Amino acid sequence: MKLLRCPLNGLRNISEFIYGGEVHPLTDPRHQDARAWAEQVFFDDNAAGVVLEWWCHRPTSYWFIAERNTVTDQVIRTFASSELYAERVTFPRAGSGDPHA
Amino acid sequence: MPFGLLKYGLRKKHPGQHHFTPTKPLKSRYDVVIIGAGGHGCSIAYYLAKQHGITDIALIDKAYLGGGNTARNTAVIRSNYLTESGVNFYRDSVALYQGLSNEFGYNIMMENRGQLTLAHSDAAIRSFRWRAEVNQHLGVRSELVDRQTIQELVPNLNLAEDSRFPILAGLWHADGATARHDAVVWGYARGACQRGVELHQLTEAQGIEIEAGRVVGVRTNRGNIACGAVVQAVAGASSVVGKLAGIKLPIHSFPLQAMVTQPYKPVLTPHVSSPHVHVYVHQTSRGEFVIGGGSDPYPLYHTRATLDQREILSAATLELFPFLAQAKVLRQWAGTTDMTPDYSPIMGLSPVQNYYLDAGWGTWGFKATPISGKTMAELVATGKVPALIQPFELERFYRFQQVNEAGATAASH
């Protein structure tokens, strides 16, 4: 079985992991029109080559990021999401008085 | 007798027929360039030439005729879908398949085997009843059947009540069928070539020329082609080719694996699929059991086979057909499925003028080969989107009007 290195738990069977989609910059949904929001939700690069993607180690619910080649299926690197996201992204709730809401 | 046959074969009086015209040099301009010479590309070319008299067509493929997912699917033809848009579309496709051998004068080995989907839970029975009602309303033969009928249809199916997932009922689809997938693409390509379409293998689209929002040409490894319209029919590489034209698609490409056993004498007539144990099985006319299931768990542009998937498919198959325990697996392979969020294709207009999409064929492309060719050809020839494929336009995602086709994959729903 293919093995994947979890930054938290080390080398594990790939069946312990779940694929979580491409890493996208998340934009504030309240500042987008419907088309941009649709694109954010449904559309992806689906690139053939080296991509960044979210993975989760299911037994520990640990989410991390993998750099993987989608043509050769080689995982180049896995790392904690804190490398890309230094702080938690929070959006003000709708109706919170935000002028852009 | 063998000697007579040999003599017949060697006589000059019965020369072998060339299916396709030899490759010509690439012209500098065509009316239409079709990217992808698989089932769909050939079908589009065929109907453009036959129904609309458009024959100045370059049918280009980076590899060879029908060598991609057309050769890798498991050749299931059925129309027992769940949405009205889906059922109407696939019903017309099955109807076209029925007449294809006669139309081509070329045997596509169409066999009306029927398809049986198994319910292992009350929830599944409820959804089957729903599907049967929708199907019957739209003129598709589809009915809920009990264990007794299942026993008669598939005598060697494991109907034991103490099995892990006992079979409670089934959805019987008498219109279910199979055909030789290579013959389908060859038949279409032959018909298209006979009418003047040029087939160019080993010709890869490397760029799309766009001027003022309108497609004007295709750059290939064999030179540039100017053209009036482009159709992309590249299941398994839709996102990659779409990107050449600057079109982003709501597609994720996953491998879908299948395998076949050694040949046995005929013992299984219909297609049998079980969404619950996640497998579908049928026996080909040469005796091999074709076994397929769900897609791989993560996206990949590679057609490798994995031991994991072989174990999963084998375990599921033995739930249904324990007598296959000693069967040897002869081949295992994968195709690339362009999965869309709503399990429906993306067909029709694109943001680029005169650039048409025939994409997002996930696990439902082979059965749609005739109707997608016919409707896409109509679109290219007339510029108007046929009503049958209107629900499948790319724009639906921007309007949040997905088709939500829960009957799309035999093994997952």
What's the domain count of chain A?
1
Average pLDDT over residues B247-259: 97
Q: Can you state the angle between helices B181-194 and B84-104, rounded to 10 degrees?
A: 70
Per the CB < 8 A criterion, the answer to whether B21 and B199 are in contact is: yes
Average pLDDT over residues A44-49: 96
* B166 has pLDDT over 70: yes
* ipTM score of complex: 0.89
Average pLDDT over residues B141-159: 97
Asked if A44 reaches chain B (Cβ–Cβ under 8 Å), the answer is yes
Asked if B3 reaches chain A (Cβ–Cβ under 8 Å), the answer is no
Query: Domain map of chain B by residue range?
Result: 113-176+252-339
Residue A73 and residue B239: Cβ atoms within 8 Å? no
Cα distances (Å, whole numbers) of residue B402 to B41, B56, B85, B340, B398? 25, 35, 11, 10, 9
Indicate the range of B13-17, B145-149, B157-161 predicted with least confidence: B13-17
**Which pLDDT score, from 0 to 100, does residue B7 have?**
86
Asked if B252 reaches chain A (Cβ–Cβ under 8 Å), the answer is yes
Residue with tokens 């066999």: B111
In a domain, A95, yes or no: no
Residue B398 and residue A35: Cβ atoms within 8 Å? yes
Residue A46 and residue B302: Cβ atoms within 8 Å? no
Asked if A69 reaches chain B (Cβ–Cβ under 8 Å), the answer is no
In a domain, A54, yes or no: yes
Asked if B251 reaches chain A (Cβ–Cβ under 8 Å), the answer is yes
The Cα of B230 is separated from the nearest Cα of chain A by a number of Å equal to: 22
**Which pLDDT score, from 0 to 100, does residue B91 have?**
97
DSSP, res B61: -
Q: Are strands B177-178 and B76-77 parallel, antiparallel or unpaired?
A: antiparallel
* B54 has pLDDT over 60: yes
Instruction: Tell me which residue range forms the domain holding A72.
Output: 3-26+44-83
* B10 has pLDDT over 90: no
DSSP string, B316-358: HHHHH-GGGGGPPEEEEEEEEEEE-TTS--EEEE-SSBTEEEE
Q: What is the CATH number of the domain that holds A13?
A: 3.30.2270.10
Residue B253 and residue A46: Cβ atoms within 8 Å? yes
Query: B113-176+252-339: what CATH class?
Result: alpha beta
Q: What are phi and psi of A78, to 5 degrees?
A: -125, 145
Binned at pLDDT 50, 70 and 90, residue A100 comes out as: very low
**Which pLDDT score, from 0 to 100, does residue B174 have?**
97
Number of Cβ within 10 Å of residue B49's Cβ equals: 22
Q: What is the mean pLDDT of chain B?
A: 95
Per the CB < 8 A criterion, the answer to whether A23 and A66 are in contact is: no
In a domain, A31, yes or no: no
**Model confidence, pTM:** 0.94
Rounded distance between C-alpha atoms, residue B303 and residue B312, angstroms: 17
**Which pLDDT score, from 0 to 100, does residue B409 have?**
63
**Which pLDDT score, from 0 to 100, does residue B413 have?**
43
